């Protein structure tokens, strides 16, 4: 989530300035590189709808250039490493360090602005010195506050989410995450993660989806969208879609009179319903003292869910009657 905040801030800044966003993969330390990390980064950026204009530029593929630059400004120590003052530029085994690679890439790629979290603030002075030693002017370094948990500690699952993967699993739409991060902008100080705000944005994002988009993300036919509109997350929408698609396995109903009354009204209505007729059917059942909870369980197998009329509207008449008969 913290990296996503930085990515969104960079994209917005590049757009505002008419600039170019470069995706750079910092993989100089081969001992710590996860072979699947780059793919996950790209997937996360694409999920959020963050495009990059150049790259990915992999530092591991620019090793010779980094070593060349280190030779210009570094001094070898007794162990064979190249150093700039107290800072190691190239390890004794020949691997360039993050500091060297980042600065050389900034210079070679013509980077004018570096926007990153304030945890990188201690690096700014060193990076500026290395840039000048290479004969270039340092870029502008902008350090924003970090996204932290409600208790001020590093964001983790106990705060509701630690990664975009967590949010995907919870069914939070990417549009909601993107909007939440855009609202944060470039915070000067640390920002406490506001899960309630994100979930409100998730509801708004789902409401803004077209019927076709919502059905596609939930894996449901468009005819089921009326019931899916009550979902607070895409995970809920998928659960509802599954409930509508598969007849529930329920024990005999505790209110057979309610189901028989529903059966009569549904057969009298003939064919498919529209919203007005579905609402009217529920109103008539309610006015007659029907047990609407029992009807919901018979139709979906669930104790709770979207408004009952949306379920009745979403289920084809034959399917609804079969489920009622099974419960009876």
CA angle 52, 54, 60 (to 5 degrees): 110
Residue 213 lies in a domain: no
CA–CA separation, 34 and 36 (whole Å) = 5
Whether 191 is in a domain gets the answer: no
Answer with the one of 147, 180, 200 that is the final residue of a domain.
147
Q: Is 119 helix (H, G, I), strand (E, B) or coil?
A: helix
Residue 98 has a pLDDT of 94
Domain-located, residue 152: no
Buried b (16+ CB within 10 A) or exposed e, 192-216: ebbbeebbebbeebbeebeeeebbe
Q: What is the CATH number of the domain that holds 10?
A: 3.40.50.620
* Residues 76-135 pLDDT 10s: 999 999 999 999 999 999 999 999 999 999 999 999 999 999 999 999 999 999 999 999
pLDDT at 259: 97
pLDDT tens by residue, 141-180: 999 999 999 888 888 777 777 789 999 999 999 999 999 9
CATH number of the domain to which 266 belongs: 1.10.10
Tally the domains of the chain.
Answer: 2
Contacts of 289 (CB under 8 A, 6+ apart): none
The Cα 209–Cα 295 span in angstroms is: 29
48 and 139 assigned to the same domain: yes
Question: Could you say which of 147, 166, 185 is where a domain stops?
Answer: 147
pLDDT at 34: 86
- Does 304 score more than 90 pLDDT? no
pLDDT digits (tens, 9 = 90+) for 35-73: 899 999 999 999 999 999 999 999 999 999 999 999 999
Residues 116 and 225 in one domain: no
23: DSSP letter: E
Q: What's 95's DSSP letter? A: P
Structural domain containing residue 296: 218-328
In the structure, what pLDDT confidence band is assigned to residue 306 with cuts at 50, 70 and 90? Answer: confident
């Amino acid at each position: 989530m913290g990296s996503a905040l930085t990515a969104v801030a960079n994209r917005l800044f590049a757009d505002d300035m008419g600039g170019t966003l470069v995706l750079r993969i910092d993989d100089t330390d081969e001992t710590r590189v996860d072979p699947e990390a780059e793919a996950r980064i790209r997937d996360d950026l694409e999920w959020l709808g963050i495009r990059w204009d150049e790259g990915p530029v992999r530092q591991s593929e620019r090793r010779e250039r980094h070593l060349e630059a280190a030779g210009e400004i570094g001094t070898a120590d007794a162990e064979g490493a190249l150093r700039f003052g107290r800072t190691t530029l190239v390890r004794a085994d020949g691997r360039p360090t993050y500091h060297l690679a980042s600065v050389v890439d900034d210079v070679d790629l013509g980077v004018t602005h570096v926007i990153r979290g304030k945890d990188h603030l201690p690096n700014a002075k060193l990076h500026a010195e290395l840039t000048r030693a290479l004969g270039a002017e340092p870029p502008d370094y902008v350090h924003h506050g970090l996204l932290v948990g409600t208790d001020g500690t590093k964001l983790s699952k106990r705060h509701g989410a630690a990664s975009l993967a967590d949010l995907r699993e919870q069914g939070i739409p990417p549009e909601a995450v993107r909007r939440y991060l855009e609202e944060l902008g470039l915070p000067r100080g640390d920002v406490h993660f506001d899960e309630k705000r994100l979930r409100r944005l998730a509801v708004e994002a789902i409401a803004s989806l077209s019927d076709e988009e919502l059905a596609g993300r939930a894996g449901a036919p468009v005819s089921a969208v009326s019931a899916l509109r009550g979902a607070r997350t895409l995970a809920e929408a998928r659960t509802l879609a599954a409930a509508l698609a598969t007849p529930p396995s329920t024990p005999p109903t505790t209110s057979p009179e309610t189901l028989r009354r529903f059966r009569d009204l549904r057969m009298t209505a003939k064919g498919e319903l529209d919203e007005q007729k579905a609402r009217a059917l529920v109103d008539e059942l309610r006015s007659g003292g029907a047990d609407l909870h029992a009807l919901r369980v018979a139709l979906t197998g669930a104790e709770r869910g979207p408004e009952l009329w949306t379920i009745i509207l979403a289920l084809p008449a034959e399917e609804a009657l079969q489920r009622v008969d099974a419960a009876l």
